[in-house]
Copies of this chain bind each other. A is one copy, B any other.
């Protein structure tokens, strides 16, 4: 592992916690590594600040997590030319040199994976490589930058000026002191270039994609957008039409009820459009050490799986747990009754006897008194506690139909 920052620490921790045997962490390389050392890293892991010590070793995979173009490009090229596979989260490197580096990997019998370079833990790049590989995609769009999404969500929620939302994001660590790369679209268009490469098989320079800044957005724009059912998000989109790739990154109006309109704070959403499979959506945590580490480790497992001929026995991977339907949840109970005084009193007495707490009683007007529907909702309890009460209530003579019991999720 080269680069032991936030993501590197998460990757190392998960590798150390999850001893599945397929992967072994051998080296951690970082400048001034002594101040970075962690007690939970196994003693046989080599700490070093010398990249050549990693490249010259017999490791099978190099994890590049230092970011930026220089010296990351030299490191990745060096590793691939030494026949080592590379897993990287480096969006700038892949956006600029992805096709060349993929060819270099192929020429040296190595693999290059970069699932963590776009949308953090949202497995959209692996989906493009695997489950969507059978489709012919023509469009990809997404909310790809958590900083912009945080700031726009905050302006939307609190109607504060852009400058105030930016300061807040900086104070909370969601934006850097110089956030230009995020705010002006440089980050998102590198990611869009990678998505276009992986999903549309189109090689485009990030600089060829128009990027518009979100700095121009005013709180009043959310008022006007709301007038027409919209909100504002930084949207990255690419559409392949007859040999032209239409591409744009920047603030855009999206319908409040659309998938994009409901993406808040640090979430990323990617939509794909395919000739055969139609539209697909992928939503999840777009950044953060642990989610990004999931993408890195998934790539490591993928590469390791390809490198190793031996596969574990299926039975060793599969457990046979006890199965139960005894979920705890809130509950919706619906009755149809022949109306008469005292019905609620008798039902609530049974619930109380079973220590079940009523959350609400609902009765909508306008129904026939001979088959009157009404509803009781209950505070969270396990199914098994509720069941005896339901059986008791089912025997009451005023029921005109069997009652209905549904869990209330979320």
Give the distance in Å from the alpha carbon of A278 to the alpha carbon of B287 in the complex. Answer: 11
Complex CA gap A372/B353 in Å reads 64
Q: Can you list 6 pairs linking A and B with CB atoms under 8 Å apart?
A: A127-B131, A135-B298, A221-B334, A276-B294, A278-B291, A279-B285
Measured between beta carbons, the chain B residues less than 8 angstroms from A277 are 121, 284-285, 290-291, 294
Query: Which of B216, B235, B314 is within 8 Å of A404, CB to CB?
Result: B216
Residue A6, interface by CB 8 Å: no
Give the chain B neighbours of A19 by CB distance below 8 A: none
Q: Which residues between 71 and 113 of chain A lie within 8 Å of chain B, taking CB atoms?
A: 99, 102-103, 106
Q: Which of B253, B295, B377 contacts A228 (CB 8 A)?
A: B377
Whether A132 touches B136, Cβ cut-off 8 Å, given contacts A202-B318, A232-B406, A320-B202, is: no
Cα–Cα, bound, A373→B71 (Å): 48
Size class of the contact patch on chain A: 35 or more
Interface window among A25-33, A35-43, A167-175, A325-333: A325-333
A324 vs B202: C-alpha distance when bound (angstroms): 13
Determine if A281 and B281 form an interchain contact, defined as CB atoms under 8 angstroms apart: yes
Residue in A115, A204, A293, A323 whose Cβ sees the most chain B Cβ within 10 Å: A323
Stretch of A239-247, A338-346, A389-397 at the chain-chain interface: A239-247
Of listed A251, A296, A334, residue having the most chain B CB within 10 A: A334
Q: How far is the CA of A227 from the CA of B363 in the complex (A)?
A: 10
Is there a chain B Cβ closer than 8 Å to A258's Cβ?
A: yes
Taken together as a complex, chains A and B put the C-alpha atoms of A368 and B197 apart, in Å, by: 48
Query: Is A63 an interface residue when CB atoms closer than 8 A count as contact?
Result: no
Q: Quick one: copies of this chain in the complex?
A: 2
- Verify B364–A134 contact, CB threshold 8 A: no
**Alpha-carbon distance between A115 and B129 when the two chains are bound, in angstroms:** 14
Chain B residues, CB < 8 A from A141: 409
The list of the 6 closest CB pairs from A to B, nearest first, reads A123-B131, A134-B297, A126-B131, A210-B325, A134-B298, A280-B284
Interface residues of A in 354-410 (CB under 8 A from B): 360, 362, 364, 367, 373, 375, 377, 402, 404, 406-410
Q: Is the CB of A406 within 8 A of B224?
A: no
A323–B225 Cα distance when bound, in Å, is 29
What residues of chain B lie closer than 8 Å to A228, measured between beta carbons?
360, 362, 377, 408
Complex alpha-carbon distance, A296 and B134, angstroms: 8
Q: Is A158 on the interface with B (CB-CB < 8 A)?
A: no
- Contact among B225, B321, B367 for A245, CB-based, below 8 A: B321
Residue of A243, A244, A314 contacting most chain B CB atoms (<10 Å): A314
Tell me how far the C-beta of A385 lies from the nearest C-beta in chain B, rounded to whole angstroms.
Answer: 15
Chain B positions within 8 Å of A290 at CB level: 276-278
- Residues of chain A from 282 to 327 with CB closer than 8 A to chain B in the complex: 282-285, 290-291, 293-302, 306, 311, 313-315, 317-327
Q: A106-B313, A134-B293, A313-B103 are in contact. Are A122 and B280 (CB under 8 A)?
A: yes
Contact with B along A218-231 (1 / 0, CB 8 A): 10110111011010
Inside 8 A of A291's CB, which chain B residues have their CB? 276-278
Q: Which residues of B contact A218 (CB under 8 A)?
A: 334, 373, 404
Cβ-based interface call for A10 (8 A): yes
Q: A103-B314, A245-B323, A332-B253 are in contact. Are A134 and B406 (CB under 8 A)?
A: no
Q: How far is the CA of A227 from the CA of B377 in the complex (A)?
A: 11
Q: How far is the CB of A149 from chain B (nearest CB, A)?
A: 15
